[in-house]
Amino acid sequence: MSATILLVDSDTISLMVCKAVLSSHYTIITANSGVQALGCLRGQALPDLILLGLDMPGMDGISLLDALKSQERTKDIPVVLCSAVNDLNAMAEAFQKGAVEFLQKPAIPLLLQQKVSLLLELVSLRRENARLKSLSAQT
């Protein structure tokens, strides 16, 4: 089964590049804003990973990250923040609020593929660990 990634960015070119790099290996859902991303997450299967642009009009990446981490349904989805600006304060805030990675834009295809692959492997291992703990608790 292919992992699902939600790409959220107001920069259409960034969305297209990330989708082109990742779509041959993963199912990709895109959203152009934080509000649209929250709508994508209502009532459907959750993505395995979210790549999120930092600088978006309206609900920026940090605000969306806050919203995701405050909801029981979405709090455990790993979130990667992406920004064209090398802002150490924004990076620190993103990590404090629960981001698992911070990537520079424009995306470097090989780096993006490797980071996503490693993060999805971690997701898979955490799910397997939870499943084994559940089985162990039943015996």
13: number of Cβ within 10 Å: 10
Top pLDDT among 39 and 138 is at 39
Average pLDDT over residues 36-47: 90
Residue 1, pLDDT score:
61
Closest CA to 22 of 10, 5, 37, 39: 5
Range list of β-strands (E), 32-67: 49-53
pLDDT in tens, 43-72: 788 999 999 999 999 899 999 999 999 999
Closest CA to 9 of 29, 32, 37: 32
Residue 44 to residue 134: CA distance in whole angstroms: 25
